């Protein structure tokens, strides 16, 4: 259970190789932290990642566990297995997802469906499983990495953007459903983040880094916020973009 300073004893990272997710884990580390679970599709290849997680204290136990976002029927059992290892879940970070290229999705609709299954369907099933556990505990935080791409979906990445729009809506509704239980959901909306996922891509305006996203996320967790934009200026930018007429929005050089 988190102490009076909001410092977790247990952290579960769904998407245990995510640059942003690992940065959030490092930012959350304190003397209270006892156990970190890195949930990954291939545990054997993630052992080196666990060793390089960058945690300062050798007293923190890092476990690598098998998790596949596509296998929705395994998610409740997976959460039970995590609880069996670490006990109560203080912070769960949902950081898995695929970006892909719109041109590839246009050519291969099945690939587009697989991406949406990871980004949205898998998030729904594991998110509900996490929420059920947090509700029973009466405490805990679920951090959901959304994206500004879901705020106003662009033609250049509309499959990815639509999956993030669905995820964002789900996470907000899930947070509302947990009101009064002691458990909460934090929705994180980053802009372009320089990470392994975006390597080789042209950076968008107001781009940021995993460490900066982590700082903003942990600050929001400690303040009790339900949503955080990072960088914060994007909240203003998208409040304008969201209401632009379609004909004007389509002419903008947004990529």
Q: How far apart are CA 129 and CA 79, in angstroms?
A: 7
Closest CA to 143 of 15, 29, 9: 15
Reading the block at residue 126, the tokens are 């594991």
Residue 63 main-chain phi, psi, to 5 deg:
-110, 140
135 CB-near residues (< 8 Å, 6+ apart): 178, 181, 183
- Which residues are known catalytic residues? 160
Report the SS3 class of residue 60.
coil
* DSSP codes joined into one string, 88-113: S-SEEEE-------HHHHHH-HHHHH
């Amino acid at each position: 259970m988190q102490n009076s300073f909001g410092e977790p004893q247990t952290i579960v990272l769904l998407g245990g190789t995510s640059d942003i997710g690992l940065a959030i884990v490092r930012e959350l580390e304190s003397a209270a932290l006892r156990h970190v679970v890195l949930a990954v599709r291939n545990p054997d290849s993630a052992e080196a990642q666990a060793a390089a997680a960058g945690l300062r204290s050798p007293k923190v136990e890092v476990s690598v566990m098998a998790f596949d976002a596509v296998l929705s029927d395994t998610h409740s059992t997976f959460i039970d297995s995590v609880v069996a290892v670490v006990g109560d879940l203080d912070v769960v970070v949902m950081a898995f997802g695929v970006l892909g290229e719109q041109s590839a999705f246009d050519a291969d609709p099945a690939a587009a469906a697989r991406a949406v299954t990871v980004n949205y369907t898998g998030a729904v099933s594991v998110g509900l499983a996490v929420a059920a556990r947090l509700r029973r505990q009466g405490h805990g935080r679920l951090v959901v990495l959304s994206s500004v791409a879901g705020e106003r979906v662009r033609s250049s990445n509309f499959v990815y953007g639509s999956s993030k729009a669905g995820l964002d809506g789900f996470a907000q509704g899930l947070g509302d459903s947990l009101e009064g239980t002691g458990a909460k959901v934090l929705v994180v909306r980053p802009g372009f983040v320089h990470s392994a996922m975006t390597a080789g891509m042209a950076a968008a305006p107001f781009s940021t880094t995993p460490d900066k996203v982590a700082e903003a996320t942990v600050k929001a967790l400690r303040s009790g916020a339900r949503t955080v934009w990072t960088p914060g200026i994007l909240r203003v930018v998208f409040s304008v973009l969201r209401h632009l007429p379609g004909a004007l929005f389509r002419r903008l050089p947004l990529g």
